[in-house]
Amino acid sequence: ENRKSETMAATQFSREAAQGYLRANEISDLMNGILEGVAGDTPEEPLGYIIGMLEKMDDIKPALKCQLSEEWSPLTLDKIDEVNHNCKILKFRLPEPSRGLGLQVCACVLVRSTAEGDAPDVVRPYTPVSRGNQKGTVDLLIKVYPEGKMSQHLNTLKVGDTLDFKHIPFNRKIPLSVLRKEKHVVMLAAGTAITPMFQALLELFGDDCELQKKTSPMVTLLFGNRTEKDILLRKDIEEMAARCPKKFKIIHYLSTPHEEWKGERGMIDKKAIEAHCPKPSIKPKILVCGPPAMYKALCGPRGQPALSGALNELGYTEEMVFKF
């Protein structure tokens, strides 16, 4: 009788956790099948049963069609949020307001600024910082550079203006399903290159859902910036780390910190990786995104699959490292 009561309680917990996870990820087509399976024939370990089903999710779930195609489409700027002295978040309205963008995790979009006269158009990739299931809008985090042609154009946009968007297959990077299968994921990022990492973190730890935490890998993020005021998306990232302290750890590095700064100082380098990241024997998946100098120092140019730099010297292999 006690065993029966424990099983029923576990089943109820599993059902509630599954509902939270599935609803958070808009997997309504999968929800009924999993919950009916648990209710109809209670497995020995209900939570393990559901997690097993979720591990097959990418094979079962129909792919969401991205609202952006390979053709340029104008989106209207809906809102502007100032982030700090040189960064802002631009919110654009999607063609279909009742559903999300449907962009694969760790993928970017292309935006275009149409030039006047014979000057060439300016095209740049941006990784959205909103979740793929955010209905009706998509958010871009932009940093305004004094000599940046695209960022200067984006900085002039006003609510109601339009910007051309498109999405091509090449812009799909590492799938979330690959990250979920890893035991430990290491993220090495600097400045605005935090955006693809943030996109993955939102899906791994963006909801207060026990089942989602259980199906996520361990994650260590080393995030480099010049000063404390340059740390982008800090509140959101640190809230995720606080919510999942056993799963997600963040270490900030500042190259020019103020005297009161209590975090790490300097750049993300060989010493930093040795101090905070799992050893090569653990076989972590290491994601790198930053300026060219960072690639050169840590892993070699991003256009070259061969591994060099600090990660190579520490014994990590080419298969372990993904260069955004």
- Mean pLDDT of all residues in 243-257: 95
Distance, CA of 212 to CA of 206 (rounded, Å):
9
Distance, CA of 291 to CA of 298 (rounded, Å):
11
pTM for this entry: 0.80
Report the pLDDT value the prediction gives residue 72, as an integer from 0 to 100: 96
Report the pLDDT value the prediction gives residue 60, as an integer from 0 to 100: 37
For residue 148 the two structure tokens come to 């940046």
Report the pLDDT value the prediction gives residue 8, as an integer from 0 to 100: 46
Report the pLDDT value the prediction gives residue 172, as an integer from 0 to 100: 79
Nearest to 85, CA basis, from 151, 144, 148: 144
Report the pLDDT value the prediction gives residue 307, as an integer from 0 to 100: 97
Q: Give the phi and the psi of residue 237 in degrees, each rounded to 5.
A: -65, -45
Report the pLDDT value the prediction gives residue 74, as an integer from 0 to 100: 97
Distance, CA of 247 to CA of 37 (rounded, Å):
29
DSSP state of 25: T
Calculate ∠ Cα 310-314-316, nearest 5°. Answer: 95
Residue pair 313/215 in contact by the 8 Å Cβ criterion: no
Report the pLDDT value the prediction gives residue 43, as an integer from 0 to 100: 53
- Assess whether pLDDT exceeds 60 at residue 52: no
Report the pLDDT value the prediction gives residue 54, as an integer from 0 to 100: 52
Start-to-end C-alpha separation, the chain: 54
Residue pair 190/225 in contact by the 8 Å Cβ criterion: yes
Distance, CA of 236 to CA of 260 (rounded, Å):
23
Local confidence band at 10 (pLDDT 50, 70, 90 cut-offs) = very low
Local confidence band at 254 (pLDDT 50, 70, 90 cut-offs) = very high
- Mean pLDDT of all residues in 132-156: 94
pLDDT tens profile 168-213: 988 878 888 889 899 999 999 999 999 999 999 998 998 776 767 7
**Average predicted confidence (pLDDT) for the chain:** 85
Give counts: helices (H), strands (E), the chain.
Answer: 12, 12
Report the pLDDT value the prediction gives residue 217, as an integer from 0 to 100: 94
Distance, CA of 136 to CA of 296 (rounded, Å):
39
Higher pLDDT, 14 or 319: 319
- Assess whether pLDDT exceeds 60 at residue 290: yes
